[in-house]
Structure 1
Amino acid sequence: MIRFEHVTKRFQDGTEALKDVSLVLPTSELTAIIGPSGCGKTTLMKMINKLEKPTTGSIYIDEKPINDLDEVQLRRSIGYVIQRIGLFPHMTISDNVALVPKLLEWSKPKKEERVRELLELVGLDPAVYMERYPLELSGGQQQRVGVVRALAGDPNIVLMDEPFSALDPISREQLQDELRNLQQTINKTIVFVTHDMDEALKIADTIIVMRAGQVEQIGTPQQLIDNPANEFVRSFIGVERINQKRTFGERRLVEFLDLFTDNWTGDFEEISADTTIEHAFLQLDKSDQDYLAIVKEDRIVAYANDRDLLKAALAKVTEVTV
């Protein structure tokens, strides 16, 4: 668990990037931090690995104040993915991914095994890509390598600073889907900075909306859509998105199967594919399960959690495959 306690960040010119921020980032969940430019979202994230330090206040990881932790050791224990990817062009993909394990003095067999495991996890064949160089990969492939490099040392926390914003729309959407599916496997505490509300609604378990160095609202995507805390949050989410959720809430699950999850190994509750999205939200809320198993013609055809349902509720009709 990451906890901020009355954190203020004031720069030398007097600018207050953060103003008395207190919040808790849930463990093993993906938290998106969103807000307009200059709102303090990147500063907030960078404080977790001490790239920025608070003027006043304290930050805790698992109830240990990070002020007492060595900066180098702390940063090696936290994965970090940046917008510009940051791969070293003169190093092979294998060497790029193994950078932190090398610093942690892992054995060569252990490093190679970890590289292979991670590349396979994001759909890059190790036999094809391990000895290639970054410039031989597409932008989307390079960003996949950037993501798995952040996971190489098996950190509990991963920071992601607008990692997909420089990609083309198709690559960006693919990586959003892959990150969401990847998180179901790795269950890391991911802090994801973005300026894109659609991206936040799609991938996040929890969303933090910021403005002018302060937190305006914290909640799940569904909570933000259903109950914006104030006019700023409502405007930032967008009335169109809110209305889309309400309008398409009566559409049936069967119309959105391509947007849902193919596999789920945990517990679930079954629901008919003919059920409306609105009723699916209600059933999931009443159940004690994270997922609904969607049944069509007596067999399970997909799985959906609250984010999947929200994604379907916000989808445009033209994007849906029946």
Structure 2
Amino acid sequence: MIRFDNVTKSFPDGTEALKGISLVLPARQLTAIIGPSGCGKTTLMKMINKLEKPTGGTISIDGKPIMELDEIELRRSIGYVIQRIGLFPHMTIADNVSLVPRLLGWKNERIDMRIRELLQLTGLDPETYLHRYPLELSGGQQQRVGVVRALAGDPNIILMDEPFSALDPISREQLQDELQNLQQSIQKTIVFVTHDMDEALKIADTIIVMRNGQVEQIGTPQQLVAEPANDFVRNFIGTERISRQRTFSEKKLKEFIPLFERDWRGDAQKVSSDTSIGEAVDQLAESTHDHLAITENGHVIAYASERELLKAALHKEVGASL
């Protein structure tokens, strides 16, 4: 858990980048920080690994104030993915990804296993890509390698600073999907800065909306769309997105089956595929189970968690893509 207590940040020119920020970033979830340019979102994220230091207040990780932690050790323990990727062009993909594990003193066998595992998780065949150089890869492939490098040392926290914003729309959407699937497997604490509301609504468990160095609202994607805190949040989300969410909430589960899980092994509450997304969300909220088992003609055809139901309700192009 990452905690900010009354954190402020002022620069020498008098700019107040952050004004008394107090919030908690939940562990093992993806939190998106969003807002207009200059709102303080990147400054807030960079304080977690001490790339920026607060003027006042306290930041703590798992109860330990970060200003008391060794700066180098802290940064080695946190993954970091940036828009420009930052791969070393003269080093192979294997050498780029192994940097932090080697600094941490890992043995070669462990490093090799970790790299291969992560490349496979992000859709890159190890035998194909391990010995290539960054310039031999597409932008999307390089960004995947950037994610792998951030995960290589098995950090509990990963910071992502607008990592997909420079990519073409198709690559960007593919990487958003990859990140969602990856997070379901690794369950890390991810802090993701973006200026794209559609991206935040799609990938985040929690969204922090900022303006002028302050937090305007914190909530799940569903909460922000259903109950924007003020006119700024409502306008930033956009009336079109709000209307879209309400429309999709009325659609039936059977229209979204490809978005849901097929091999859930735990207990689940059964619900008909003719149930609407909105009704399904309400039923799951009242249930003691974490998943719904979606049935058709008496047979279970898919499973859906609350996260997947909300993503379906917010998915902007699902009707066209299925």
The TM-score with structure 2 as length reference comes to: 0.96
SS of the equivalent of 2:50 reads: coil
Over 3 Å counting, the alpha-carbon distance change for 1:2 and 1:283 in structure 2 is same
After superposition, residues 63-142 of structure 1 pair within 5 angstroms as 63-142=63-142
Q: Could you tell me which residue of structure 1 aligns to residue 189 of structure 2? A: 189
Question: What runs of 5+ residues in structure 2 fail to find an aligned partner?
Answer: none
Over 3 Å counting, the alpha-carbon distance change for 1:146 and 1:299 in structure 2 is farther
Q: Shift in Å at residue 274 of structure 1?
A: 1.1
In the aligned structure 2, how far is the partner of 1:26 from the partner of 1:108? 33
Q: Shift in Å at residue 102 of structure 1?
A: 0.9
In the aligned structure 2, how far is the partner of 1:295 from the partner of 1:261? 13
Q: Could you tell me which residue of structure 2 aligns to residue 164 of structure 1? A: 164
In the aligned structure 2, how far is the partner of 1:308 from the partner of 1:74? 33
Deviates more, 1:243-252 or 1:159-168: 243-252
CA contact 1:269–1:291 (8 Å) conserved in 2: yes
For residues 266-309 of structure 1, the C-alpha deviation after alignment (integer angstroms, 9 at most, x for no partner) is 54333221111111111121123333232233333333333332
The answer as to 2:308 corresponding to 1:305 is: no
Q: Could you tell me which residue of structure 2 aligns to residue 221 of structure 1? A: 221
In the aligned structure 1, how far is the partner of 2:194 from the partner of 2:57? 25
In the aligned structure 2, how far is the partner of 1:285 from the partner of 1:298? 23
Q: Shift in Å at residue 317 of structure 1?
A: 6.5
Over 3 Å counting, the alpha-carbon distance change for 1:92 and 1:300 in structure 2 is farther
Q: Shift in Å at residue 318 of structure 1?
A: 7.4
The answer as to 2:36 corresponding to 1:30 is: no
CA contact 1:222–1:306 (8 Å) conserved in 2: no
The answer as to 2:46 corresponding to 1:55 is: no
CA contact 1:58–1:65 (8 Å) conserved in 2: yes
The answer as to 2:155 corresponding to 1:151 is: no
SS of the equivalent of 2:278 reads: helix
Over 3 Å counting, the alpha-carbon distance change for 1:265 and 1:176 in structure 2 is farther
SS of the equivalent of 1:17 reads: strand
Deviates more, 1:169-178 or 1:246-255: 246-255
Over 3 Å counting, the alpha-carbon distance change for 1:7 and 1:273 in structure 2 is same
Over 3 Å counting, the alpha-carbon distance change for 1:203 and 1:52 in structure 2 is same
Residue identity in the other structure for 2:287: S
Residue identity in the other structure for 1:11: F
Over 3 Å counting, the alpha-carbon distance change for 1:238 and 1:16 in structure 2 is same
In the aligned structure 1, how far is the partner of 2:298 from the partner of 2:272? 9
CA contact 2:97–2:149 (8 Å) conserved in 1: yes
For residues 96-135 of structure 1, the C-alpha deviation after alignment (integer angstroms, 9 at most, x for no partner) is 1111001112111111111111111112111111111111
SS of the equivalent of 2:160 reads: strand
Over 3 Å counting, the alpha-carbon distance change for 1:316 and 1:178 in structure 2 is closer
CA contact 1:255–1:321 (8 Å) conserved in 2: no
Residue identity in the other structure for 2:136: E
After superposition, residues 261-272 of structure 1 pair within 5 angstroms as 261-272=261-272
SS of the equivalent of 1:320 reads: helix
Q: Could you tell me which residue of structure 1 aligns to residue 239 of structure 2? A: 239
Deviates more, 1:244-253 or 1:299-308: 299-308
Q: Shift in Å at residue 226 of structure 1?
A: 1.1
Q: Shift in Å at residue 263 of structure 1?
A: 4.4
In the aligned structure 2, how far is the partner of 1:32 from the partner of 1:266? 29
Residue identity in the other structure for 1:27: A
In the aligned structure 2, how far is the partner of 1:45 from the partner of 1:263? 36
For residues 168-196 of structure 1, the C-alpha deviation after alignment (integer angstroms, 9 at most, x for no partner) is 11111111111111111101000000111
For residues 3-41 of structure 1, the C-alpha deviation after alignment (integer angstroms, 9 at most, x for no partner) is 000000000000000000000000111000000100000
Deviates more, 1:238-247 or 1:159-168: 238-247
In the aligned structure 2, how far is the partner of 1:157 from the partner of 1:10? 26
In the aligned structure 2, how far is the partner of 1:48 from the partner of 1:306? 29
Q: Shift in Å at residue 265 of structure 1?
A: 4.7
Aligned residues: 322
Q: Shift in Å at residue 230 of structure 1?
A: 0.7
Q: Shift in Å at residue 81 of structure 1?
A: 0.4
Q: Could you tell me which residue of structure 1 aligns to residue 177 of structure 2? A: 177
Over 3 Å counting, the alpha-carbon distance change for 1:184 and 1:213 in structure 2 is same
CA contact 1:258–1:321 (8 Å) conserved in 2: no
Question: What runs of 5+ residues in structure 1 fail to find an aligned partner?
Answer: none
The answer as to 2:16 corresponding to 1:16 is: yes
CA contact 2:7–2:18 (8 Å) conserved in 1: yes
CA RMSD of aligned residues (A): 1.6
